[in-house]
Amino acid sequence: MSGSPYAPHTDAETAAMLDAVGAADEAALFDIPEPVAFDGEFGIEPRSEQELRREMADLLGRNDDLTEFLGRGHYEHYVPSVVDSLSSRSEFLTSYTQYQPEITQGFLQALFEYQSMLVELTGLGIANCSMYDAATALGEAALLADRVRSVDGEVVLVPENLREGKRSVLANYVDGSDLRIETYPIENGTADVDALDDAVGEDTVFVYAETPTVRGCIEPNLAEIGEIADAEGAMFCLGSDPVALSILEEPASVGADVVVGEAGVLGLPAAYGMGLGLFACDEEFLRQVPGRLVGASEDADGTRAYTLTLQTREQHIRKQRATSNICTNQAWVALRAAMHAAYLGADGLVGLAEDCVTLARDLAADIDDVTGLQAPVDDRHHFREFVVGTDQPAQAIADDLEEEGFAVHVIGDHRLQVCITDANAHAADDLVAAFEEVAA
């Protein structure tokens, strides 16, 4: 085989085109000085489609077949087939950013609907049409606070048990600003509100809390946290996800100025951490919001139409004065999330969220019955996941569980964390049986 399988030129056409441009051959078209030209080989053998399929199946087949009870920021819910089918239509999948809105109304409307669903779920005035993931959305939110808050503060306050990946991304984002990260304590899986109150001062510009927390606890004191932040003029940023938000307190009602989080809980399967950053905020920040916004307008016939708008905030117009450097975002993942949410509807979404509470509650109770295990460790209401105390070393239990075909988190010497959703609930009894084998 020679040449790209996706370049359609016949030899005769190539010759005719070379003739038209006055070049002897293709090499003559390359204006590359000899000292920096490359005439070697990469050593990459081309594969036929069949060979490629076999190779990829063999390669990925080296992954062990484990039933995952893993969460901590990356969750799997069953994604209905219709979402795969519709989102894979090439008109969606292989299109690009909607720089010519007249010819990309379909995607623009879908993104407008995605934004609208987040507005409904958060109660906030605006949502953008995606960031990369929950961690980068948090980083962008802190920088938003730096731009819009009148207080002189430079402290970004986050929970001490913030997932390391998020803390690290946040640190990277604020490294180019004057902001610095401090933490507040966690007690029993949720914010220690008294300690948080002590930690917030006039130098605080941003207070971040999560519900559910990284340990799966539903935060019971959100309104109080919001008041503490507000009293010092700090921005209150809430981390959550669209499934949880369908039954938990509405962020606007607890004083959240910004909501960030992982919207890939809808529409994305387990994808090795690939995500969809949710970003919604109060309307007052409209002109400082990072990322793309789709707005409704009218066309020349007076018909409703959609377009990217307020692009003067964006890097391709504003350059170094842009609100963010984001260009390519997660548009197709947002489309899938909107499709999944629409498939579920309000009824289905609330039902799924209720399952996240009851499945975790029931599994924790069953695990608690196993000799040598205590669950849930935190005396809180849980969503999807909870911490398990172990008499035996946690790592040894997890290793043994892996032998039995199950994956769980190890989060301490005698702490495991287990996550259950509709996607793995069918195997809950088997997990409990495996725990009985290995935990005593």
Distance of CA 73 to the CA centre of its chain: 8
Stretch that binds another protein, among 152-160, 189-197, 266-274, 370-378 (CB under 8 A): 266-274
Q: Does 5 bind another protein (CB under 8 A)?
A: yes
Running DSSP on this structure, what letter comes out for residue 92?
A: H
Round to whole Å and give the CA distance between 147 and 259: 17
Which one of 11, 24, 150, 176 is in contact with another protein (CB under 8 A)?
Answer: 176
Query: For residue 293, what is the DSSP state?
Result: -
State which of positions 385-404 bind another protein (CB under 8 A): 402
The CA angle 369-372-376, to the nearest 5 degrees, is 55
- Shortest Å, Cβ 174 to another protein: 10
Residue placing its CB nearer to another protein in the complex, 165 or 233? 165
Q: Write out the binding residues for another protein, residues 187-206 only, by CB under 8 A.
A: none
Span near another protein by CB under 8 A; candidates 21-29, 187-195, 225-233, 384-392: 21-29
56 belongs to the binding site for another protein (CB under 8 A): yes
Contacting residue, 198, 201, 271, 362, with another protein by CB under 8 A: 271
Do residues 209 and 221 lie in contact, with contact meaning Cβ atoms separated by under 8 Å? no
Closest CB 223 distance from another protein, rounded Å: 9
Tokens matching residue 140? 């962008």
The contact mask relative to another protein for 104-143 (x = CB under 8 A, - = no) is: xxxx-xxxxx-xxx-xxx---xxx-xx-xxxxx------x
Report the candidate in 108, 118, 119, 135 with the shortest Cα–Cα distance to residue 337.
118
The CA distance from 31 to 37, in Å, is: 10
The reply on whether position 37 binds another protein by CB under 8 A is yes
Please identify which residue in 307, 378, 384, 439 interacts with another protein, judged by CB under 8 A.
307
Could you say whether residue 415 binds another protein (CB under 8 A)? no
Q: Residue from 11, 91, 379, 413 that binds another protein (CB under 8 A)?
A: 91
Long-range contacts of 91-99 (CB under 8 A, 24+ apart): 92/332, 92/335, 93/332, 97/292, 97/308, 97/327, 97/328, 97/331, 98/294, 98/307, 98/308, 99/308
Which region, judged by CB under 8 A, interacts with another protein, from 148-156, 339-347, 363-371, 427-435? Answer: 339-347
Binding mask 358-387 for another protein (x = CB under 8 A): x----------------------x------
Phi, psi of 16 (to 5 degrees): -65, -40
Pairwise CA distance, residues 147 & 114, whole Å: 26
Tokens of 383: 């969503």
Helix (H) / strand (E) containing 99: none
* Residue 42 engages another protein in binding (rule: CB under 8 A): yes
Q: Count residues contacting another protein (CB under 8 A)?
A: 185
CB of 197 to another protein, least distance (A): 20
